[in-house]
């Protein structure tokens, strides 16, 4: 893990990150979902996309990255991540995001976008249900064993006030138009059994993004954990077409 500090809208943020394949010149940035962290994403993808330098980032308020005071919407998150990427002189060719991280990856406007069960489509559920789903249900199926201490910590505890407000924004802010505005190449992957961001959301996003293709894989909201190789293969096939 490494840490960089940056000032955004007058507040100091500590951004925790890690790099992989540091000799490569093209960058792939990978963003985790709500309540998760970069270690989870690194576990899934560190042995894939070997022609790229990987940049794993803890979003502010998660993992080792701080957010003590600000209530952030997705655009602000993306501006912080952009500022960070500029600091490390990144040359982003691909941005990948899971769930909430998918929205931020979209707003980075990369040449190539990879969305894994992205958030961004409003589902007719109450906020309370959503919080429950995000906090507990989706964390259970793939084993509290190995990863438990890595990314459950923040969720097990009560969210701080500003992060609770941030969460409300995350699930309520309209985002459909952002997908429409993204005109570069998007590759979407979805878990067929996903109950947090259902497949119907994937189909909607696939429809909203003009240049998009949707691949449906086996699994739930965390379908990608053991399928990094397949995701890489399908992505490269599509890009080379």
Partner 1 sequence: MKLGIIFGGNSYEHEISIVSAISLKKILFNLDIFIFLDTDRTLYLIPKDKMKAKTFSSGEYKKEKIVTLSNSKLLVGGGLFKPKEIQADIYINGIHGQDGEDGTFSSVLDFYNLNYIGPRVQASVVSYDKHLTKLYAKEMGVKTLDYVVIKKGEDISNIKLPFDYPVIIKPTTLGSSIGVNIVESANDLEYGLDIAYEFGNSVIIEPFIDGVKEYNLAGFRANDYYFSMVEEPQKAKFLDFEKKYMDFARTEQVFKAQISQDLEQKLKDNFINIYNTIFDGSLIRCDFFVVDDEVYLNEINPIPGSMANYLFEDFSMAIDLLTNYLPMQNRIDIKYQYIDAIHSAKGK
Q: Cα–Cα distances in Å, from 120 out to 123, 133, 169?
A: 9, 16, 11
- Looking at residue 227, the DSSP 8-state letter turns out to be -
By CB under 8 A, is residue 42 in contact with partner 1?
no
- Looking at residue 159, the DSSP 8-state letter turns out to be P
Stretch near partner 1 under the rule CB under 8 A, chosen from 13-21, 29-37, 120-128, 132-140: 13-21
Largest CA distance in the chain: 47
Stretch near partner 1 under the rule CB under 8 A, chosen from 11-19, 70-78, 90-98, 203-211: 11-19
Among 19, 159, 216, 230, binds partner 1 (CB under 8 A): 19
Structure-token pair, residue 42: 């690194």
By CB under 8 A, is residue 1 in contact with partner 1?
yes
Minimal distance, residue 89 CB to partner 1, in Å? 9
State which of positions 22-41 bind partner 1 (CB under 8 A): 22-23
State which of positions 53-72 bind partner 1 (CB under 8 A): 64
By CB under 8 A, is residue 228 in contact with partner 1?
no
Helix axes 127-135, 161-172, angle to 10 degrees: 110
Minimal distance, residue 6 CB to partner 1, in Å? 12
Is the Cβ of residue 8 or residue 182 nearer to partner 1 in the bound state?
Answer: 8
What's the N-to-C CA distance of the chain in angstroms?
A: 36
Among 6, 88, 214, 216, binds partner 1 (CB under 8 A): 88
| Among candidate residues 155, 154, 151, 153, the one with its CA nearest the CA of residue 142 | 151
- Looking at residue 77, the DSSP 8-state letter turns out to be H
| Among candidate residues 189, 173, 175, the one with its CA nearest the CA of residue 222 | 189
Residue given tokens 């707003």 in the structure block? 107
Size of the site for partner 1 (CB under 8 A): 12
Minimal distance, residue 28 CB to partner 1, in Å? 16
By CB under 8 A, is residue 241 in contact with partner 1?
no
Q: Give the residues across from 18 on adjacent strands.
A: 56
CA 75 distance to own-chain centroid: 13
Minimal distance, residue 186 CB to partner 1, in Å? 29
Binding marks (x or -) toward partner 1, 204..223, rule CB under 8 A? --------------------
Binding site for partner 1 (CB under 8 A): 1-5, 16-17, 19, 22-23, 64, 88
């Amino acid at each position: 893990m490494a840490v960089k500090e940056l000032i955004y809208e007058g507040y100091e943020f500590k951004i925790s990150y890690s790099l992989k394949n540091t000799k490569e010149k093209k960058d792939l940035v990978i963003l985790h979902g709500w309540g998760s962290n970069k270690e989870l994403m690194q576990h899934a993808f560190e042995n894939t996309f070997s022609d790229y330098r990987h940049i794993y980032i803890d979003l502010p308020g998660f993992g080792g990255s701080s957010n003590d005071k600000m209530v952030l919407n997705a655009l602000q998150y993306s501006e912080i991540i952009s500022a960070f990427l500029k600091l490390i002189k990144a040359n982003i060719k691909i941005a990948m995001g899971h769930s909430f991280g998918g929205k931020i990856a979209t707003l980075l406007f990369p040449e190539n976008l990879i969305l894994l069960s992205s958030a961004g489509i409003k589902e007719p559920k109450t906020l309370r249900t959503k919080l429950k789903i995000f906090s507990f249900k989706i964390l259970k199926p793939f084993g509290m064993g190995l990863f438990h201490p890595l990314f459950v910590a923040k969720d097990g505890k009560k969210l701080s006030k500003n992060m609770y407000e941030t969460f409300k924004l995350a699930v309520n802010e309209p985002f459909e138009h952002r997908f429409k505005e993204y005109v570069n190449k998007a590759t979407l992957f979805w878990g067929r059994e996903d109950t947090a961001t259902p497949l119907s959301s994937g189909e909607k996003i696939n429809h909203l993004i003009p240049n998009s293709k949707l691949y449906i894989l086996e699994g739930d909201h965390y379908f990608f954990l053991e399928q990094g190789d397949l995701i890489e293969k399908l992505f490269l096939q599509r890009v080379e077409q």
